[in-house]
Structure 1
Amino acid sequence: MPKQTFLNLNPAKQEKIAKILLDEFSANSLLDANVNRIVKAAGIARGSFYTYFEDLDDAYRYSLGQVMKSIHGSLAATNPYQATINFIETVQDNPYYNFLSNYYVVDEAILEAHHREQNGLDVAQAQADVPKWLAEVAVHHLIRQYFMAPAEKEQILQLLAALNEWQTNEA
Structure 2
Amino acid sequence: MPSQTFLNLPTEKQQKITLALLHEFANYPLAQAQVSRIVKEAQIARGAFYKYFTDLNDAYLYLYKVAMQEIHTNLKHAPKDSNSPAALSKFYLSEIKNFLNESQTSSYADFIKMHLLENEISLRSLQAPEPETDAIKWSIAVLSHQTIRDCYRYPAQQEVILARVSPIIQAILQQA
- The TM-score range, normalised by the shorter chain, is 0.7 to 0.9
Q: Residue 39 of structure 1 aligns to which amino acid in structure 2? A: V
Q: Provide Cα deviations, 1:48-70, integer angstroms capped at 9, x if missing partner.
A: 00000000010000000001111
Matches within 5 A, 1:27-38: 27-38=27-38
Give the match for residue 41 of structure 2: 41
Give the match for residue 96 of structure 1: 108
3-state SS of the aligned residue for 2:162? helix
Q: Verify: 1:105 aligned to 2:110, yes or no.
A: no
Residues 169, 86 of structure 1: CA spacing in aligned structure 2 closer, same or farther, 3 A cutoff?
A: farther
Q: Residue 54 of structure 1 aligns to which amino acid in structure 2? A: T
Query: Structure 2 CA distance, aligned partners of 1:17 and 1:84?
Result: 30
Deviation at 1:76, TM superposition (A): 3.8
Q: Residue 97 of structure 1 aligns to which amino acid in structure 2? A: A
Report if the CA contact (8 A) 1:85-1:160 is conserved: no
Report if the CA contact (8 A) 2:18-2:63 is conserved: yes
Q: Residue 144 of structure 2 aligns to which amino acid in structure 1? A: V
Residues 6, 42 of structure 1: CA spacing in aligned structure 2 closer, same or farther, 3 A cutoff?
A: same
Number of aligned residue pairs = 164
Q: Any gaps of 5 or more consecutive residues in structure 2?
A: 79-90
Q: Verify: 1:115 aligned to 2:126, yes or no.
A: yes
Give the match for residue 164 of structure 2: 159
Query: Structure 1 CA distance, aligned partners of 2:106 and 2:9?
Result: 28
Q: Residue 32 of structure 1 aligns to which amino acid in structure 2? A: Q
Q: Residue 108 of structure 1 aligns to which amino acid in structure 2? A: E
State the superposition RMSD in angstroms.
2.5
Q: Residue 132 of structure 1 aligns to which amino acid in structure 2? A: K
Give the match for residue 9 of structure 1: 9
Deviation at 1:133, TM superposition (A): 1.4
Report if the CA contact (8 A) 1:20-1:42 is conserved: yes
Q: Verify: 1:135 aligned to 2:140, yes or no.
A: yes
Q: Any gaps of 5 or more consecutive residues in structure 1?
A: none
Deviation at 1:46, TM superposition (A): 0.3
Q: Verify: 1:146 aligned to 2:151, yes or no.
A: yes
Q: Provide Cα deviations, 1:128-171, integer angstroms capped at 9, x if missing partner.
A: 32222122111011111122222321221102332465588789
Query: Structure 2 CA distance, aligned partners of 1:115 and 1:37?
Result: 23
